[in-house]
Amino acid sequence: MILVTGATGNVGRGIVRRMAAAGHKVKALTRNPGTVFDGAEVVVGDLDEPSTLPDCLQGVDKAYVMGLGPRTAEQVATFVHTAEGLRHIVLMSSLSVELERGGVVARWHREAEDVVRKSGIPWTFLRPGVFTSNALQWASSIRAEGVVRSVTGDTPVAPIHPDDIAAVAATVLLAGGHEGRAYALTGPERTTPSAQTRLLGELLERRLTFEEVPRATGVRSMRAFGISAEEAEESVRSARQDGLFGTPLPTVHDLTGLAPRTFRDWAVENLDAFSQASP
């Protein structure tokens, strides 16, 4: 039996769908008791509420686990300390951990990886870079003003489709030989926020404007969430660094045999989110 945390998210939902379609027993962990998944058992639990987890973990021998924001490592620790007897854990991490100074997101995920390593549970780490779905943060300004504002500047990225991450997660959960491996994941092409803006404009048949947010403004916005000045500076600097996040890697195809999807593919699928008619 495989347990998927974050089952209602873009990645988790894709994992559950694949497991169920292939006839594997899967539990979808959610905080919402009204959630329905075809072919999966829905279990109600919360990584911030340890008492909810033992029942959810009954009969489970493998799991996909992810934490959220500054509580990532704490949530992962709660899970692994409750999950006795797991044969394999696949952890959602971040490509930023591979940077020497990756800022606050890198720290959150390094701490979570350390928790899993020390647990003694056989593990695989998935380290995606920029998600194609990050572009949804532009949706309201596109609808209202026809403007894309980017805190990361116009730094090249190789964005990955969330469902391609799900395909990798399903592959490593179902096949042996991935224990003790960390996989860096990107999309298949190098692009930039301004190029993504032009593409969205073409698809919407609307003129869109790209605006680079000053670095200092990006740092101030991060500090508003209680992040230290040093880590805010590191975070913005790493996000504007041309290199790791903008280098397409073959990992998705190598692991799944599938052609990873482009930003255009994702944009076509999600164009309604940017439409002026959207709520």
Quick check: 278 pLDDT over 60? no
Sorted by where each begins, the domain ranges of the chain are 2-274
In order of 163, 216, 219, 236, the CA distances from 103 in angstroms are 26, 15, 11, 8
Contact 123, 185 (CB under 8 A): no
What pTM was estimated for this model as a whole? 0.92
> What's the CATH number of domain 2-274, 1.20.120.140, 3.40.50.2300, 3.40.50.720, 3.30.70.120?
3.40.50.720
Task: Compute φ and ψ for 106, nearest 5 degrees.
Answer: -60, -40
pLDDT by residue (tens digit) across 191-236?
999 999 999 999 999 999 999 887 776 677 767 666 777 777 777 7
Q: pLDDT band for 279, please (50, 70, 90 cuts).
A: very low
Per residue in 45-97, pLDDT (tens digit) is 999 999 999 999 999 999 999 998 889 999 999 999 999 889 999 999 999 99
Interval 3-49: pLDDT, tens:
999 999 999 999 999 999 988 999 999 988 778 788 899 999 999 99
Q: How sure is the predictor about 153, in pLDDT bands with cuts at 50, 70 and 90?
A: confident
Q: What percent of the chain has pLDDT over 70?
A: 94
Give the pLDDT of residue 224: 67
Q: What is the pLDDT of residue 121?
A: 95
DSSP H or E segment with residue 183: strand 181-185
Give Cα separations from 58 to 6, 26, 29, 121, 274 (angstroms): 18, 12, 12, 17, 42
DSSP string spanning 102-128? Answer: -HHHHHHHHHHHHHHHHHT--EEEEEE
What percent of the chain shows pLDDT beyond 90?
A: 73
Compute, in degrees rounded to 10, the torsion defined by CA atoms 160, 166, 169, 171: -110
